[in-house]
Chains A and B, each alone.
Chain A
Amino acid sequence: MNQFRRTFLKGTGAAGTVAVAIAAGLLKPSQVLAAEWNKSAFEAASVADAMKGMGAGAPVDSKDIMIKAPDIAENGAVVPVEITSKIAGTQSIAILAEKNANPLVADFTLSNGAEGYISTRIKMGKTSLVRAVVKAGGKTYTAAKEVKVTIGGCGG
């Protein structure tokens, strides 16, 4: 087994791979990602744990968040979702598919003029609520819409 793999495999057990890679001289600190990927939030198996991982506090339901998604998605592998937040000072928009094995799908941080609007396509394992969580002005807001899925899209 070559040295890199040994270091890598040893490292994943004990410390973060980024730290190990830096130590091994493979990754210069300047190349490190702006914010490390939020593993605990993305690997959370429940909506509550994902929200905790995102530091989402206790979100308040808001009518100023619009979720545009099909009522029935024919193909769970490609569900178009558009989130619009009319809440002033929207800083981030997160998308969750509540019944996915890992509910948190994506978290978008907006700045420098980016509007409270995100359009993307997500995979849904089965019929569930698609939830948007918006952070604005130090508070957290949420809205959800049910999307029925006829053929699940996560594989497995």
Chain B
Amino acid sequence: MAQPMKIRAQAQGDTADIKVLMNHEMETGLRKDSKTGQLIPAHFIQQVTASVNGKVVLDAQWGAAISKNPFLGFKVKGAKAGDKVMVNWVDNKGEKNSVETAVS
């Protein structure tokens, strides 16, 4: 159901620069449906984890104020070309998605 995530991991010297673009409404729960006048329920990514070669490098908790279709950039020292980077997320409804790439 969730759209594929885009990820790019590039080695820059002894550090890998990783950028991820996720697909998610990140609905705050504060907006009203213009037709029904009802509040659109909150639906947002709550947890994001990133690992390099199986070791967790980033463990994030998010609120609904991260923008729709979240962008995330981070850097990992010691990550080099060929290392496997995996990013996954879980939202407040238990939906998940993940993506994997190799540092180039």
| A binding-site residues for B, Cβ under 8 Å | 33-35, 37-38, 42, 77-80, 82, 97, 100-102, 104-115, 117-124, 153-156
User: Does A115 lie within 8 Å of B74, measured CB to CB?
Assistant: yes
User: Does A114 lie within 8 Å of B74, measured CB to CB?
Assistant: yes
B49, B67, B76, B79: the one contacting A122 at CB < 8 Å is: B67
Chain B residues closer than 8 Å to A101, beta-carbon distance: 30
Alpha-carbon distance between A108 and B55 when the two chains are bound, in angstroms: 16
User: Does B58 lie within 8 Å of A156, measured CB to CB?
Assistant: no
- Known interface pairs A101-B30, A119-B74, A121-B71. Does A114 touch B65 (Cβ–Cβ under 8 Å)? no
B15, B28, B52, B92: the one contacting A155 at CB < 8 Å is: B28
Q: Which has the most chain A C-beta neighbours within 10 Å: B31, B47, B65, B67?
A: B65
- Known interface pairs A122-B65, A122-B66. Does A109 touch B74 (Cβ–Cβ under 8 Å)? no
User: Does B66 lie within 8 Å of A105, measured CB to CB?
Assistant: yes
Question: Is B82 on the interface with A (CB-CB < 8 A)?
Answer: no
User: Does B61 lie within 8 Å of A79, measured CB to CB?
Assistant: no
Q: Which has the most chain B C-beta neighbours within 10 Å: A37, A117, A120, A154?
A: A120
Chain B residues closer than 8 Å to A110, beta-carbon distance: 57-58, 74
Contact with A along B68-89 (1 / 0, CB 8 A): 1011111111110000000000
Chain A residues closer than 8 Å to B28, beta-carbon distance: 123, 154-156
Closest to B71 in A: A121
Q: How many residues of B contact A (CB 8 A)?
A: 38
Alpha-carbon distance between A28 and B71 when the two chains are bound, in angstroms: 31
Question: Is B6 on the interface with A (CB-CB < 8 A)?
Answer: no
Minimal beta-carbon separation of B17 from chain A (angstroms): 9
User: Does A155 lie within 8 Å of B30, measured CB to CB?
Assistant: yes
Chain A residues closer than 8 Å to B56, beta-carbon distance: 111-112
Alpha-carbon distance between A153 and B28 when the two chains are bound, in angstroms: 10
Closest to B45 in A: A106
User: Does B72 lie within 8 Å of A38, measured CB to CB?
Assistant: no
Q: Taking A106-B66, A108-B74, A114-B74 as given, write out 17 further A-B residue pairs in contact, using a Cβ cutoff of 8 Å, ordered by the A residue number.
A: A37-B47, A37-B92, A42-B63, A82-B73, A102-B64, A105-B62, A105-B65, A106-B65, A107-B61, A111-B55, A111-B57, A118-B74, A119-B71, A121-B67, A121-B71, A122-B66, A124-B65
User: Does B47 lie within 8 Å of A33, measured CB to CB?
Assistant: yes
Alpha-carbon distance between A108 and B37 when the two chains are bound, in angstroms: 35
User: Does B79 lie within 8 Å of A113, measured CB to CB?
Assistant: yes
B49, B67, B78: the one contacting A113 at CB < 8 Å is: B78
